[in-house]
Amino acid sequence: MNDRVREILSWYDSDNPGTLTNLARLMNHGRIAGTGHFVILPVDQGFEHGPARSFAANPSGYDPRYHFDLAIAAGCNAYAAPLGFLEAGAAEFAGEIPLILKLNNSDSLTPGSDPCPALTGSVDDAIRLGCVAIGFTIYPGSTARNEMFGELRELTIESKRKGLAVVVWSYPRGSGVSKEGETAIDVVGYAAQIACQLGAHIVKVKPPTAHIEQAAAKKVYEKERIPIATLAERVRHVVQWAFNGRRIVIFSGGEAKETSAIFEEVRGIRDGGGFGSIIGRNSFQRPRKEALDFLGQVMDIYAGKK
Amino acid sequence: MNDRVREILSWYDSDNPGTLTNLARLMNHGRIAGTGHFVILPVDQGFEHGPARSFAANPSGYDPRYHFDLAIAAGCNAYAAPLGFLEAGAAEFAGEIPLILKLNNSDSLTPGSDPCPALTGSVDDAIRLGCVAIGFTIYPGSTARNEMFGELRELTIESKRKGLAVVVWSYPRGSGVSKEGETAIDVVGYAAQIACQLGAHIVKVKPPTAHIEQAAAKKVYEKERIPIATLAERVRHVVQWAFNGRRIVIFSGGEAKETSAIFEEVRGIRDGGGFGSIIGRNSFQRPRKEALDFLGQVMDIYAGKK
Amino acid sequence: MNDRVREILSWYDSDNPGTLTNLARLMNHGRIAGTGHFVILPVDQGFEHGPARSFAANPSGYDPRYHFDLAIAAGCNAYAAPLGFLEAGAAEFAGEIPLILKLNNSDSLTPGSDPCPALTGSVDDAIRLGCVAIGFTIYPGSTARNEMFGELRELTIESKRKGLAVVVWSYPRGSGVSKEGETAIDVVGYAAQIACQLGAHIVKVKPPTAHIEQAAAKKVYEKERIPIATLAERVRHVVQWAFNGRRIVIFSGGEAKETSAIFEEVRGIRDGGGFGSIIGRNSFQRPRKEALDFLGQVMDIYAGKK
Amino acid sequence: MNDRVREILSWYDSDNPGTLTNLARLMNHGRIAGTGHFVILPVDQGFEHGPARSFAANPSGYDPRYHFDLAIAAGCNAYAAPLGFLEAGAAEFAGEIPLILKLNNSDSLTPGSDPCPALTGSVDDAIRLGCVAIGFTIYPGSTARNEMFGELRELTIESKRKGLAVVVWSYPRGSGVSKEGETAIDVVGYAAQIACQLGAHIVKVKPPTAHIEQAAAKKVYEKERIPIATLAERVRHVVQWAFNGRRIVIFSGGEAKETSAIFEEVRGIRDGGGFGSIIGRNSFQRPRKEALDFLGQVMDIYAGKK
Amino acid sequence: MNDRVREILSWYDSDNPGTLTNLARLMNHGRIAGTGHFVILPVDQGFEHGPARSFAANPSGYDPRYHFDLAIAAGCNAYAAPLGFLEAGAAEFAGEIPLILKLNNSDSLTPGSDPCPALTGSVDDAIRLGCVAIGFTIYPGSTARNEMFGELRELTIESKRKGLAVVVWSYPRGSGVSKEGETAIDVVGYAAQIACQLGAHIVKVKPPTAHIEQAAAKKVYEKERIPIATLAERVRHVVQWAFNGRRIVIFSGGEAKETSAIFEEVRGIRDGGGFGSIIGRNSFQRPRKEALDFLGQVMDIYAGKK
């Protein structure tokens, strides 16, 4: 095992060897294995946004096996999905790619501005399906904070006892933050900090903008002249907030957009010391060949080849 | 065992042989055994709508044994009911028809526009009564989503460990959907997707209309020109949304209506690749002889004889 | 054992012999043993209404032993009470009368229009006290429905595994029903159906009035011309709704009233095929001698002697 | 379901509907479904006698799938085997034949004249593999009686709670019986009685000889002039000892022997009111085609066609 | 994943995807990954034989980390050891090699000719240490058979539920077999069959000799003219006895001996269709460089390069 992977594992030395093993599996799989970087395919949009918005653009994606195959062929580090999608391929593709079971999910049919996802799977589902980690979404800023954090607390301690890693999607949302604030640099960094404090091994946030949401934070940024002009600077800043870089922080790809814009963003993440990307719609909504080419290029950027 | 049954079982290869056995029992029983199609008799209306609206039209239905006998004589694949109704016949009719225990139920005495059924039975009840599956209703769009999904999550993992199949009634309802939206094509398909993601083996939805509820979905339908003019097209679409046809989707019969209209609907379901029908009121509210003839004709349509 | 008792037991053939034995004990005890009729003494009013309203009229009733003695002397089929009252006499009167432990109770100190009784005892308490059954109250129509039904679900499966019978007090109440609707014929029948579906062996409801609460039900009554003019007709109707007479339905005595009115009511219940009465206040609030005479006459009515 | 099956089920009315359902499945499957007779294929000889003595004569039998296929193709009522053999086919053949998991087994490597098989599987294995019953061997006459009977006691109560049937192989052996006594009429009948008393639903014994082992028994046979000259008489006698014919008693085929001798024996069993045969070596040690023909003829004898 | 690995996994289709994943991890790791062959380093001799006989020849072996490093550097498929040895390196080497936790062990201080190893670890230890499998030793022929088989029965069902693979060391020993019989072809094959019937995924036996121990078996070998002259023939025979080659059988290296003799033996195992070797003393008692060269050559033989 190369030194970078060992170094990253050393940050998690309170965890048992089972969890370390699964973190190592994530880092040692796929095209950029061993670099300490991550490119993960997540497909929970069928649940979260509905099938139409998710799969109509590339109908192959209606078939759960398509995403296993895509993630494997592309050489992703892992594939993350809700219970049903993993059950529909875990036996057929056993051992071919590390799996992350998303244990909570929202849908767009349920009203309410303060989101609180439903529990949709169990740690023992992750165990029986051979997963390396659980995934869990929290919405800091939602009035349902206590319910979400409390659920995560229980899933986290169970996962760590059973040797799994914990990946937290930390998305500020709800009545506590403005729409613009959801991606504000101070709020994204804060969300990363919260996920780390809750015991996450890997934190997923959105690429932050230069907007500053909280007045109290704004004063500090100005006083300390914290550089946040470029994405790389902002990523560096978020990574610093995630225990000074001693927790793995990865960034979501967001809505489908132009390929060159994504590559630019990925370079920013890489240059700022971000650990990787978790790219759903921009992967599986393209035709397979195009998606493989796209993901390959993203991985090459992280591997320092582009 | 014929090839179609084996093919369907192959979609569930993450499940243990116990669950596969019970899925096979469902498919290998009754008049259309082995076709991969399903006609199931569900009788939970006494609980859900009250006895008057359910059984007064054909008072034989007050007797729980009547429904066992009807389902057996008609050659249905299974009979589904709440705890009390199954307890009242499970010993007498042991081994004569696969049973599905409905584990949650609503009643029409309790007020509220965002439904959340009560738990009314346990997985171990299903085991001691010799059932092949549990049944569970979710109402996507209800603000009580998290409670329902969370309950299903626990019942599902227990059922799968104990070798039972999981049948989910997925009915959009509540403040997140309009009345018209409850049967909108996009919403019904979304409801099917959600049930599959929650780990259902068999999903029951209502026959969808051509209405599109969600603005974001509407754009996709128009852009991708998804055909939804006929019921067959809409059923095909819903089946695609249920893991590209790799989960069993069956359709409810809804309120009592004219026989010819039902047969027309069943043909649409069949032509669209739907797996079958679950027909309650239109069966048990008719006189027995008429009901047997009616169910026989529905089965013949699925068997391709009409 | 006489044929009627055997016939009634045959309706419960999904239950184990332990539960059947306890049902038989209920039917084979007391003055009307073997008739398939029941007169039960329930004393939970000290908990539900407070001691003043319950026992001041006949202060002997403050002593828990009084009620054991009364039920035994009168030849009741059983005595039902909360944990404390049973603990205070179960040893002294061991083997003298079948006991039913009420496992939930409300009190009149707690405010709120949607009742949800508190759990006040356990199935294992019933076992250690030598009871033949548990008792449990549900309030269909209350917004707390799910909590009550969910609790009953767990107590029922445990009781049946441990060979006890399950007696459910099913009283519509709460924001889903009007005051008049609480005893409406359609609502009382619906409440009986719900209790049966939840797995009750014996259901206790209030004598229904000719009022019809639900509009949808009203249409059916009119269309099907269901006779509900006399109490006997209404009782017959409720019994039909309780699995076509294949579940034991008994009727509460309600508030203290004139003796002749009660006898009239009991005759109506008997003539309509009701299985018996459960009479608390009208028994223990009378002087002992009077109460014994009163209960004796009620039993004679059920035994067809009056 | 035909009357004979219903009649047999009526003997087991202390069992829950789950167990009745699985007993019905055994009786309603295969070529002689519905006759109340049984022909079961057991393959535990690989474990009990070693592979050489078991499978060398027909090497197809080394493959666990061979026996599933043989039992299915022959139309046996069930296939019984230890854990490993069932695991190796339960998914592939799910739903095609009722399975019985043998939960204890001996091997011929372990010394000792008082046999006590080892536990080799669990009730929860039977559940996850979709079995209808557990199988368990006892050796009355062995000094290890208490260990075996105690294990069976625990497995039986668990199986009955979980809706499985219990099949007991009751083979007198050990220091308490002579070699000749192992098949003595009094001892075989006694072994059947013991298995029934231990709660077995189905008992398997060896065809008894006319030898009488126990002196005390001999006196009774002589005094009462119990007819035991023919196999049919002896079978009738054993069946009588198994609760006067109210428990299912089936007979083992024993070592491979001439076909005509087996048919003669089967006729004797049938004529004496025996319920069927469980034939291992005489089935799977023949070439497949020959075995199918052989089993078919055995079934025809039980069906009264020969 | 290559076709051979997929084919092997298909034999275990009763297992959950978690167990399949761990079996795949074993096959997809190391120098001969993907060939379906195995070379495993086991180091339990410190426990079983004492440190002197185990590590004095190469004192590096006193350090538990030495063996992790050796197995990793050599490219073994897995490293197997008791609890203490794995705990001493599992964190440091997390993710670098699949681990097998030996859950029972004997020591040479305890007297007795009928061995029964002590339980020395738990399935949850395997989980927290990130292992892919448990290991367990049985001694068929020992009078302590029932204790060993019974323990394995419980560990097996737990391991399979928790997604681990089960590796069984099956060594005939004890008063039921002679010294020569411990490696007799009939006894070794029988031992493989027993392990498979007990639910093992992978069975480890000793290379068999041409000796035949059991008289009853000898007759069969002679009658069927089973070829057992060469090691390859004998291995082929043992593999056939392990469910006709549908279970993974690997062979122990035994006592330290000349290198050329080992290579000869490995070629015999490979030519007979054996799945691999598990070589302890012959590996770790050599100097590291020599051991790496030695193991490399063994792997090359399995990979068909030599």
Task: Write the pLDDT tens digit of every residue in B235-294.
Answer: 999 999 999 999 999 999 866 678 999 999 999 999 999 999 999 999 999 999 999 999
Residue E128 contacts A, CB cutoff 8 Å: yes
**Per-residue pLDDT tens over the stretch C154-199:** 999 999 999 999 999 999 999 999 999 999 999 999 999 999 999 9
Pairing between β-strand D38-42 and β-strand D78-81 as defined by DSSP bridges: parallel
Specify the pLDDT at position D305.
86
Contact E274, E235 (CB under 8 A): yes
Angle at C87 between CA C86 and CA C91, to 5 degrees: 100
Q: Quick one: how far is CA D279 from the chain centroid? A: 8
Reply yes or no on whether the pLDDT at A254 is more than 90. Answer: no
Of the candidates A159, A78, A90, the one whose C-alpha atom is nearest the C-alpha of residue A129 is A90
For C21, name the nearest residue in chain D, comparing CA atoms only: D14
B 62-121 residues with CB < 8 A to D: 90-91, 94-96
| Cβ atoms of B19 and B12 closer than 8 Å | yes
B209 secondary structure, DSSP code = B
Contact D28, B93 (CB under 8 A): no
DSSP state of A47: H
**B20 vs D21, D25, D91: nearest CB:** D91
Residue type, B23: L
SS (H, E, C) chain E: CCHHHHHHHHCCCCCCHHHHHHHHHHHCCCCCCCCCCEEEEECCHHHHCCHHHHHCCCHHHHCHHHHHHHHHHHCCCEEEECHHHHHCCCCCCCCCCCEEEECEECCCCCCCCCCCCEECCCHHHHHHCCCCEEEEEECCCCCCHHHHHHHHHHHHHHHHHCCCEEEEEECCCCCCCCCHHHHEHHHHHHHHHHHHHCCCCEEEECCCECCCCCHHHHHHHHHHCCCCCCHHHHHHHHHHHCCCCCCEEEEECCCCCCHHHHHHHHHHHHHCCCCEEECCHHHHCCCHHHHHHHHHHHHHHHCCCC
Dist CA C72 CA D30 (whole Å)? 57
D49 touches chain E (CB under 8 A): yes
CA distance A205 to A274: 11
pLDDT of residue A151: 97
Query: Tell me: the pLDDT tens digits for A83-107?
Result: 999 999 999 999 999 999 999 999 9
Instruction: Quickly state the pLDDT bin for D36 (edges 50, 70, 90).
Output: very high
Q: Where are the beta strands (DSSP E) in chain D?
A: 38-42, 78-81, 99-102, 104-105, 118-119, 133-138, 165-170, 202-205, 248-252, 276-278
Which residues of chain D neighbour C161 with C-beta distances below 8 Å? Answer: 161
Residues 6+ apart with CB under 8 A from D224: none
In sign, the C-alpha dihedral spanning D287, D292, D293, D296 is positive
Q: Mean pLDDT over all residues of chain A?
A: 95
Q: Which of E196, E152, E168, E159 is nearest to E19 (CA)?
A: E159
Taking one residue from A and the other from B, the number of pairs with CB-CB distance under 8 angstroms is: 132
C202 and C248 Cβ atoms separated by less than 8 Å: yes
> Cβ(C34)–Cβ(C49) under 8 Å?
no
Return residues 258-287 of B near A (CB < 8 Å). Answer: none
Using DSSP's 3-state secondary structure scheme, residue A66 falls into helix
pLDDT number for residue C128:
97
Candidates B139, B204, B206, B302; catalytic one = B204
- Kindly give the interhelix angle for A185-197 and A215-224, rounded to the nearest 10 degrees: 100
What confidence score (pLDDT) does residue A305 get?
A: 86
Nearest-neighbour CA in chain A from B156: distance (Å): 9
* pLDDT at residue D127 in the model: 98
Q: How close does chain B come to E199, measured CA to CA in Å?
A: 15
In chain B, the residue whose alpha carbon lies closest to the alpha carbon of C13 is B91
Chains in contact with D via at least 3 Cβ–Cβ pairs below 8 Å: B, C, E
**A161-208 tens-digit pLDDT:** 999 999 999 999 999 999 999 999 999 999 999 999 999 999 999 999
Distance of CA E146 to the CA centre of its chain: 21
Would you say A282 and A262 are in contact if contact means Cβ atoms under 8 Å apart?
Answer: yes
Q: Which of A79, A171, A190, A302 is catalytic?
A: A171
Q: How many other C-beta atoms can be found within 10 angstroms of the C-beta atom of residue A10?
A: 12
Q: Hey, which residues does A5 pair with through a beta bridge?
A: none
**How high is the pLDDT of residue C52?**
86
Cα–Cα distances (Å) from B102 to B45, C13, E40, in that order, read: 12, 20, 50
Residues 6+ apart with CB under 8 A from A99: A78, A79, A80, A81, A86, A90, A129, A130, A131, A132
Q: Which helix (H) or strand (E) holds A71?
A: helix A64-74
- Max distance between CA atoms of chain A, in angstroms, equals 56
Question: What is the DSSP-derived secondary structure letter of residue B249?
Answer: E
Q: pLDDT band for position E256 (50/70/90)?
A: low
Cβ neighbors of C305 (< 8 A, separation 6 or more) are none
- Give the pLDDT band (50/70/90) at residue D276: very high
Identity of the amino acid at C195: A
State the first-to-last Cα distance of chain E, in angstroms, to the nearest integer: 24
pLDDT at residue number E2: 83
Percentage above 90 pLDDT, chain E: 92
Interface of D with B in 190-249 (CB under 8 A): none
Is A255 a residue whose pLDDT tops 80?
no
Q: Please report where in the chains the tokens 């939206």 appear, as a residue.
A: B181
Residue tagged active-site, from D171, D190, D206, D302: D171
Note if D204 is an active site residue: yes
pLDDT digits (tens, 9 = 90+) for B153-206: 999 999 999 999 999 999 999 999 999 999 999 999 999 999 999 999 999 999
CB contact under 8 A, B18 and D163: no
- Rounded CA separation C71/C54 (Å): 17
What is the least distance, in Å, from the CA of B241 to any CA of chain A? 6
Show which of residues 142-181 on chain B sit within 8 Å of chain D, judged by CB atoms. 161-163
Residues of A in contact with E128 (CB under 8 A): 16-18, 161-163
Look up residue D207 and give its amino acid: P
Tens digit of each residue's pLDDT (9 = 90 or more) over D133-177: 999 999 999 999 999 999 999 999 999 999 999 999 999 999 999
Instruction: Give yes or no for C1 touching B (CB within 8 A).
Output: no
Q: Which amino acid is at E282?
A: N
More reliable by pLDDT, E305 or A28: A28
Contact A94 E20 (CB under 8 A): yes
Q: Is the pLDDT of residue A257 over 80?
A: no
Cβ contact B152:A87 at 8 Å = no
SS3 call for D268: helix
Q: What is the pLDDT of residues D226-250, one digit of tens each?
A: 999 999 999 999 999 999 999 999 9
DSSP run (H or E) holding A126: helix A123-128
